[in-house]
Amino acid sequence: MILPRSIPWHRPLRSLLPLAALPLVGGCNMVVLNPAGDVARQQADVLMISVGLMLLIIIPVMALTVWFAWKYRATNEKATYKPDWDHSTGLELIIWSGPLLIVIALGALTWISTHLLDPYRPIGQISAGKPVPEDQQPLEIQVVSLDWKWLFIYPEQGIATVNRLVLPVDRQVRFRLSSSSVMNTFYVPAMAGMIYTMPGMETKLHAVMNKAGTYDGMSAHYSGAGFSYMNFKTTSTDQAGFDRFVAGVKAMPNRLDTGRYLVLERPSEKVAPMGFGGVEQGLFTRIVQMCVKPGTPCMTESMQHGGHDGALGGPTNNRLPPQGEDTKGALEKAPSDYGVSPHSSGDAPEGSKAAPGSNKPGSANNRNMTRIAPLAIPGRRASAQG
């Protein structure tokens, strides 16, 4: 390509510079590094501090690599040449003390942040320098990951929504999470870190939103064909806006009862947000216990050691031994306590006074060594049964 003489050769290249800078500025407003909730804000700080500590080693190493290559190039005859040099105690201390201190700092940071930001632990502050008010109760939201949609139950308000989460600003939220079928992950990057949902189990997440707005929520764990559309919008608003949201959902005629839930949990994709003006009492507990379907025993009923086991269909032996019938370990028994349990073959194997295998390896009696009576196996002779 030949450019006209009137146009400087570098002008077209200069016009492309903004395009080259796009990858650098594209992450300036990433939600992970600029979240709307205090928990996510602290997690972002931990991430940035960790990256900064690691760069304390990475940047000098990269710079020294270039400097060494330039200083000791073949054409630089002034550089010191020591072909037999192999050790320097001072240099070794410098090289290893820096990484060691950084690893210690990273370990301490990880230890402290892991405990402070434990998702099961109630938050200690609404935002930086603002503790949780003593009279403020957390807003409880029960979350269920379905195929392929999200169910949010507000037990205090008596409502439920699908693929729509609304939170009041500056109020701590306690999420209780479970799944209807497969493992999944609940993740609102602007609010807090991700937390798994698992069938038959309940996990917890404590968080808060500090800025009003609408943010993305998603599933961060592949769960089948409809995974790509398993997203929802999270709206944080003031208390008045939250009250209007609750009143609007309460006015909806739909009610989330057992029958409606069994229909809702069926696999479906691209589900539009919906609301339920009423929720059946104890529904979330039965979801966790995997006994929503009528006639299905709950997990606690199946595993409890008392009464009748609905899953097994028979009584469970939960009776403590009466006084004087306590069982004893083998080391606590007297020699007279040891008994001989009856053997199914009696005093000797049937059809043999002495094991015939010792002197007659092919004897048919060797085939019946453990039972008093031969088994009635069709098509086989009685002498060979066993």
Residue 157 token pair:
């308000």
- Per-residue pLDDT at 152: 97
Alpha helices, DSSP H only, in 224-376? 239-250, 258-264, 283-288, 299-303
One DSSP character per residue, 32-85 reads: TTS-SSHHHHHHHHHHHHHHHHHHHHHHHHHHHHHHHHHHT-TT-TTS---TT-
With vertex at residue 308, the alpha carbon angle to CA 303 and CA 312, rounded to the nearest 5 degrees, is 60
Q: Which of 187, 193, 183 has the alpha carbon at shortest distance from 120?
A: 193
Crossing angle of helices 89-116 and 38-71, in 10° steps, is 170
The confidence score (pLDDT) of residue 83 equals: 81
User: Tokens 């390896």, residue?
Assistant: 361
Q: What is the pLDDT of residue 367?
A: 54
Joined tokens for residue 378: 């069709």
- Per-residue confidence (pLDDT) for residue 169, from 0 to 100: 94
Structure tokens at 32: 């992970």
Tokens encoding 90: 């001072």
**CA-closest candidate to residue 166, choices 178, 150, 184:** 150
Q: How far apart are CA 327 and CA 312, in angstroms?
A: 26
Residue 265 has what pLDDT? 92
Average pLDDT by stretches of 10, the chain with 386 residues: 46 51 55 86 91 91 92 86 84 87 92 90 88 89 94 95 95 94 92 92 94 92 87 94 95 93 92 93 92 86 54 43 50 56 48 57 57 47 44
Residues 232 and 165 sit within 8 Å (Cβ to Cβ)? yes
